Amino acid sequence: MHEPNVFAWTAIIGYYSRKGMHKECLRIYDDMQIKGVEPDRYVFPKVLRACTQALSLKDGIRVHNDVIRFGGGNIPQVCNSLIDMYSKCGDIQMARRVFDGMGPKDLLSWNSMISGYVSNGYLDLAIEFVNAMRMDGVEPDLVSWNTVIDAYCRMGKCEEASRIFGYIKEPNIISWTTLTSGYSRVGKHGIALQIFKNMMREGFVIPDADALSNILVSCRLLGAHLNGREVHGYGIKTQTLLELYNSAGAVLVTMYGEFGRVHCASNVFELMDKSDVVTWNAMILAFVHLGMVRSALTCFSQMQSIGVENDAITISTVLPACDLKFGKQIHAHVRRKDFDSAVPVWNALINMYSKSGCVEAALSVFTNMDMKDIVSWNSMIGGCGMNGNGPAALQLLHEMYHSGIQPNSVTFTSALSACAHSGLVTEGIQLFNSLTQEYGVTPTVGHYSCVVDLLGRAGWFVDAVNFIDKMPINPDKSIWGALLAACRSHQNVDINIAKLAADNLFCLEPEKAGNYVTLANIYANAGRWGDAVAVRKLMESRGLVKPSGYSWVEREY
């Protein structure tokens, strides 16, 4: 065209915007103005969408200036695009200024503002905005309610989200998926799975690939093997393989890895995009879950050889599979790459060195970290504990508390375990007693188990039994297991204490043959052969077989 008018420019700008060609869209927009053609109300929304998709706040501000210069500041469609752009680019205050400054507001204006508040973490304001919207005479639609459900779910108020969901006459797939992901996010995977089943039972809404991916996460974390396979089968029947595995491939590989089905994980992996780092991360994680250390490292090497750039997740996933030699190589790789702000990578290095017995190297990594989160402190405290350096673990706990990071349940489990492995009985008891008074933490069964282990390892069996009797919660198998293990280590223990622990374990986990074998061996070492034979016969009468002993260096399938 010799002199294209604004309509022609709008058509080509719209084409580039729809195709996601953000740079080209902005270049054509600039060319249009260089040619002396002024943008109008139809051009601005298309260019602003390109700025939004590119998350380019700088370009968005420049287009906003043009909107003001060419008199588009009071046009609802343009203002809605500006609100969307500012919200998604992270400047929610400017989005609100545009909203407040525009004339008549339509439903899209309100929904854009509510969605912007949710995506930027202003959840209470989002809910308040719905009430203001209704007071202004605009009734919420399905998009509005879905956004409110998302807000409540992000706040952890899933019951409120469920209440809002109940008001919707015809919920769509976004409504169902938002609610299930909300319950999944707070760890209520059983409820999430039940909601998904209700959706399938009603039959009005067909789950898409994202909905299937979301519920597969709950199946994996619930250990619901059969449900996970059913969802996978349904996805194969209703989705294209490209859609299914682009969305749900990674969670399927990880799920099958946790379920011990290496062939299923490998089959899914082969159908996924090998140029995507997420594909490789999932397969490496599956091998780690399966204990296939060599396969995990081979997968990592193959990824490197075909030129897929690893990320922080790759490194933190592969490190648990590394021995000291390969772990040091990964450490050198991390130093060469820009992983300074990737705290999970440094946390994984702390764990790798700690498990390899190099607590000094772990401490060096920890000390040189620019940023430390609670996992960093917990990893280092646990590393000192597993290497028998209880005093260092307690010193780290003290430093952690005074650095402003509040210890959590895992922190105290690691610290109490460190006391047990180092024989620090008095210090461990003092720490346990301070949980509620000084730190405001309610002891869990894991903490009680650590104290029983602490007393048992020190040979204080009467104190351990008295401690169990005074517990405000019912002792579980970890409590009695710690006591029985201590009895096995101290051969001169009162047999009645070992029998007490074993009898409780026989009730709590009657199918575990190891408990019977341990008690029988304690009797045999004490010369009570009749009692040892009686325990063996009890085990055999229940159809249990003594587990075979073996040396486990590495397990492969």
| Cα 99 to Cα 80: distance, rounded to the nearest angstrom | 8
Q: How far is CA 556 from CA 260, 265, 296, 300, in A?
A: 12, 15, 10, 16
Domains and CATH numbers, the chain: 373-428 (no CATH), 444-548 (1.25.40.10)
Angle between the 359-367 and 374-386 helix axes, to the nearest 10 degrees? 160
Residues 6+ apart with CB under 8 A from 426: none
Amino acid at 385: G
Q: Identify the pLDDT of residue 546.
A: 64
In residues, how long is the chain?
557
**Strands, E assignment, 356-439:** none
Nearest to 287 by CA among 312, 258, 264, 316: 258
Q: Identify the pLDDT of residue 439.
A: 85
CB atoms within 10 A of CB 53: 15
Which DSSP state fits 319?
Answer: G
Map tokens 């995009």 to a residue.
273
| Cα 26 to Cα 63: distance, rounded to the nearest angstrom | 10
Quote the tokens at residue 415: 């610290």
pTM, two decimals, is 0.75
Do 447 and 457 meet the contact criterion of CB atoms below 8 Å apart? no
Amino acid at 492: N
Q: How far is CA 505 from CA 417, 470, 530, in A?
A: 22, 19, 21
Nearest to 77 by CA among 55, 53, 46, 101: 46
What b/e readout covers 192-214, taking b as 16+ CB neighbours within 10 angstroms?
bbebbeebbeeeebebbbebbbb
> How many helices (H) and strands (E) in the chain?
32, 0
Do 424 and 457 meet the contact criterion of CB atoms below 8 Å apart? no
Q: Identify the pLDDT of residue 433.
A: 92
| Cα 348 to Cα 320: distance, rounded to the nearest angstrom | 7
H helices present in 470-549, as ranges: 477-489, 495-508, 513-525, 529-541
Q: Identify the pLDDT of residue 48.
A: 92
Do 158 and 178 meet the contact criterion of CB atoms below 8 Å apart? no
Amino acid at 424: L
Residues 6+ apart with CB under 8 A from 488: 498, 518, 521, 522
Do 200 and 191 meet the contact criterion of CB atoms below 8 Å apart? no
One digit per residue, pLDDT tens: the chain, 557 residues?
A: 778 888 898 899 889 888 888 888 999 989 998 988 888 888 999 999 999 988 889 999 999 999 998 888 788 999 999 999 999 999 999 999 999 998 888 999 999 999 999 999 999 999 999 989 989 899 999 999 999 999 999 999 999 999 999 989 999 999 999 999 999 999 999 999 999 999 999 989 999 999 999 999 999 999 999 999 999 999 999 999 999 999 999 999 999 999 999 999 999 999 999 999 999 999 999 999 998 989 999 999 999 899 999 899 999 999 998 989 999 999 998 888 877 778 999 999 999 999 999 999 999 999 999 889 999 999 999 999 989 899 999 999 999 988 888 899 999 999 999 999 999 999 999 999 998 888 888 899 999 999 999 999 999 999 999 999 999 999 999 999 999 999 988 876 678 899 999 999 999 988 888 888 989 988 888 888 998 899 898 888 888 776 555 443 444 43
Do 354 and 383 meet the contact criterion of CB atoms below 8 Å apart? yes
Do 507 and 476 meet the contact criterion of CB atoms below 8 Å apart? no
